[in-house]
Amino acid sequence: MSLIQRNHAHLSLAPMCRPALFLLAALSGGVLSPQASASDITVGSPVNGTRISSPALIRAHNVGCDGVSPTSFGYSIDNASGIVLGATPYDIDVTAQAIPAGTHTVHFKSWTGRGECPTVSTTFTVGATTAPAPAASAGIPSYAISSGDLDGSGSWAEGHDGGTPGESRGSMVYPASTPLYDDARKFYMTYSDRAGERWSLSFAKDAKATYFVLDTYVYFPNPSEVLNLELDMNQVMPNGETVILGTQCSSVTGSWESAYTSGKYDHWLSSNIKCNPKDWKANEWHHVQIGLHHDENGVVTHDWVNLDGAHSVFEGATRESAHSLGWGAGDIDVQYQIEGASSGSGSVTSYIHKMTVYRWQ
């Protein structure tokens, strides 16, 4: 390791006011057909059982059901008869859905050419309009600053990670086609002796932010070739030191690991949360969200991780993680890194989609 708007945020809530936007009965094709036997919807936000603030982030990914691609995707809240359609049949990404205080349920609904898929629901509690303490919630507050979709930025850099053995060479393609998207970023590497290749992007200047969420979709055609998947952010704090917000899914320890520093060196701390990239399903998009924060001295706390909608909280993952690297004041970058699994030589192909970083104080 080294260092459409077809989405709308004004869905009416019954019985408070009259339902708006689309009525279920108005959707074309198969709405009244019997439901399929399996649905494949990944809910990114709100996470089931969490407490959030309003307005809320509503985010989910959908690949249809029973092996059939979706034709429509939307959501409703509680008993509202209206439905908000996603930006595409695959994605819902609403950044400011107003929801009153109390306990609510979002119902995510998908249709294919064969009819309606089973509904996937998530239940959560909305507090006051001011956000609760961010570390106590898996939600992203409405005042968080979003980087926007970073996939298409032309300033991505790449190189071998000198903190890993062996040698590696990498390349990138954007836009790259996958079975679901034509705007993904493709990463390709060849390597020897379990080497790591790093791709990085500097995207903002902000020395004051202390809370971060990294949100992305990852796709492996052959996950058995992946030793570790590393997802990092780095920020230059007001004191001039660079805080390292590093996280990786490791096949070595079978867990999510958090980065920390000791002296001049970086290390990985295994956690209570299981993760092994070799176990990820091939040729499928996996939704990863990582929440963490730091103090003014560069002591980092890994708060939680969501993998394909499963929410897990880190235990005891607070460590110092900062260096004086001489980087520019307030610089923030994101790093995506793959380490190959073979002690001989090999290659790894992977993709990201909708990589987004949220930050706030």
Beta bridge partners of 270: 257
In the structure, what pLDDT confidence band is assigned to residue 57 with cuts at 50, 70 and 90?
confident
Distance CA 139, CA 85 (A): 22
Residue 106 three-state SS: strand
Do the Cβ atoms of 334 and 233 come closer than 8 Å?
yes
> Residue 33: is its pLDDT beyond 50?
no
pLDDT tens-place string over residues 115-133: 999 999 999 998 753 333 3
User: The whole model's pTM is what?
Assistant: 0.70
Instruction: Give 138's DSSP letter.
Output: S
Stretch among 30-34, 142-146, 316-320, 340-344 having the lowest mean pLDDT: 30-34
Domains of the chain: 22-140 (2.60.40.10), 157-360 (2.60.120.260)
309: Cα separation from own chain's centroid:
10
pLDDT tens-place string over residues 149-194: 999 998 999 999 999 999 999 999 999 988 777 889 999 999 999 9
Do the Cβ atoms of 208 and 361 come closer than 8 Å?
yes
CB-based burial label for 188 (10 Å; 0-12, 13-18, 19+): middle
Q: At 138, list the tokens.
A: 């898996």
Distance CA 320, CA 301 (A): 9
pLDDT tens-place string over residues 260-272: 999 888 999 999 9
> Residue 104: is its pLDDT beyond 90?
yes
Query: What does the chain come to in residues?
Result: 361
- Element at 91 (helix H, strand E): strand 91-97
> Residue 135: is its pLDDT beyond 60?
no
pLDDT for position 39 = 67
